[in-house]
Amino acid sequence: MLVGAFACAHTPQLLARPGTEDRDLVLRVHAAFARVKRRLEALRADAIAIVAGDHVEAFFLDAVPALAVYVGRECAGTFGRYRYRFPIHEPLARAVVEQGVERGFDLFYTQHAPLDYAFYVPLHFTMPEPAVPIVPLHVNVYLPPQPTPRRCYEWGRALGEILRSRPERVVLMASGGMSHFPGTDRYASPEFEYDRRLLESLKAGHGRELAAITGEELDKMGNIELRTWATLLGAVGDARADLYCYEPSWHHGNAVVEWPV
Amino acid sequence: MNDQPHYRFPPASAYRLNRCLFALKSDDAFRARFVKDAPAAMAELELDAEDAAAVLRGDRDALLARGAHPYLVFMADLRLRMEREPVSFEFF
């Protein structure tokens, strides 16, 4: 069953805390992550299904999956000096890929691929105690052409149905966002007003509006990663977002959000 | 999807260049070889002279003009700087 749904920023500076960052802002985002962690413990989650966009770490131009599921025994990765490893909830991962294909989504799967920091950062801060296994779900956000937000939303709707039909207590988490432009001239000028308008719409329960946004608009607004949110929104439907925090730093709109399921 | 100003389809002509930037970002052993002997490391990946010159200069605009992915340019540069002059993280 699906017991919770959250979106979490994965801004690497939240983890590495370099001197370029506003300490108080980072600590406010950490406090929001701590709330998520307590919620996961209260929800007695058996597994976290986490949707994130690989930053050209597992999937280079040799093979570019639009939607992928990790179905190995465990997964591991590195980010700078950070080393991490998580057990995968194998029966759940296998159910997601098998039933997803059954429902018409031609999913890519892997039993061995590096796990990107987009998965790690939220898990570092929000993993409940005791820890639970995960199911990493990749959505291509960095290598055009990416799946459309509408396709992500439709995949999320199917994913939500699959998770709801399972015996495990599953939390769905979307990693990424909001506005940021890594590697471009816009790095120091994200579209915070766009983020705020979108959050108002999500708080009003209009998640399906994200499905109608074009890929061009997401790119222009520094929000290519919101394809992970679109996936989650497909699963939670018109639920009203509960905004834990929105903290715009000099390079990144950091949001932490919960949706009732 | 034909008008994305920030992240564009990486042209096949830039495959080797992007592979080099990907290796600088994600392959610690390659990055160490690059720091030691950049021309030899780039020769392993069969970069042509223009690509190699742009990588050596760290010329972001030239790399992007040659089809490099902006995120790979950004992270390859960050990783190289961290390798050459270790910075202190977890500042607070």
Chain A neighbors of B28, CB-CB under 8 A: 78
Question: Would residue B52 count as lying in a domain?
Answer: yes
For residue A182, give the CATH number of its domain: 3.40.830.10
Q: Find the domain containing A7 and state its range.
A: 2-259
Return the residue matching tokens 């040659």. Answer: B66
B22 CB within 8 Å of a chain A CB: yes
Query: From the CA of A94, how many Å to the nearest CA of chain B?
Result: 28
Q: Which residue of A has its CA nearest to B73?
A: A183
| Amino acid B3: pLDDT | 66
Across the interface, whether the CB atoms of B6 and A19 are under 8 A apart is answered no
Distance CA B69, CA A142 (A): 9
Chain A neighbors of B72, CB-CB under 8 A: 56, 183
User: pTM above the 0.80 mark?
Assistant: yes
Contact A190, B12 (CB under 8 A): no
Question: Would residue B91 count as lying in a domain?
Answer: no
Question: Would residue B18 count as lying in a domain?
Answer: yes
Tens-level pLDDT at each residue, chain A (261 residues): 999 999 999 999 999 998 899 999 999 999 999 999 999 999 999 999 999 999 999 999 999 999 999 999 999 999 988 999 999 999 999 999 999 999 999 999 999 999 999 999 999 999 999 999 999 999 999 999 999 999 999 999 999 999 999 999 999 999 999 999 999 999 999 999 999 999 999 999 999 999 999 999 999 999 999 999 999 999 999 999 999 999 999 999 999 999 999
Question: B32: exposed, middle or buried (C-beta count within 10 Å: 0-12, 13-18, 19+)?
Answer: exposed
Please give the tally of structural domains in chain A: 1
B82 CB within 8 Å of a chain A CB: yes
Query: A149-164 vs A90-102: helix axis angle to the nearest 10?
Result: 120
Distance CA A256, CA B2 (A): 31
SS3 content of chain A, % helix, strand, coil (to 5): 40, 25, 40
Q: Which residue of B has its CA nearest to A222?
A: B6
Dihedral sign, Cα of residue A70, residue A72, residue A74, residue A76: negative
Residues on chain A bordering chain B, Cβ-to-Cβ distance under 8 angstroms: 16-19, 21, 23, 26, 55-57, 60-61, 78, 80-81, 114, 142-146, 148, 181-184, 186-187, 215-216, 219-220, 222, 224
B4 CB within 8 Å of a chain A CB: yes
3-state secondary structure (DSSP) of residue A68: strand
| Amino acid B1: pLDDT | 42
Question: Would residue B77 count as lying in a domain?
Answer: yes
Question: Would residue B1 count as lying in a domain?
Answer: no
Question: Would residue B31 count as lying in a domain?
Answer: yes
Q: Find the domain containing B46 and state its range.
A: 13-84
Distance CA A45, CA A64 (A): 31
Contact A115, A76 (CB under 8 A): yes
Please give the tally of structural domains in chain B: 1
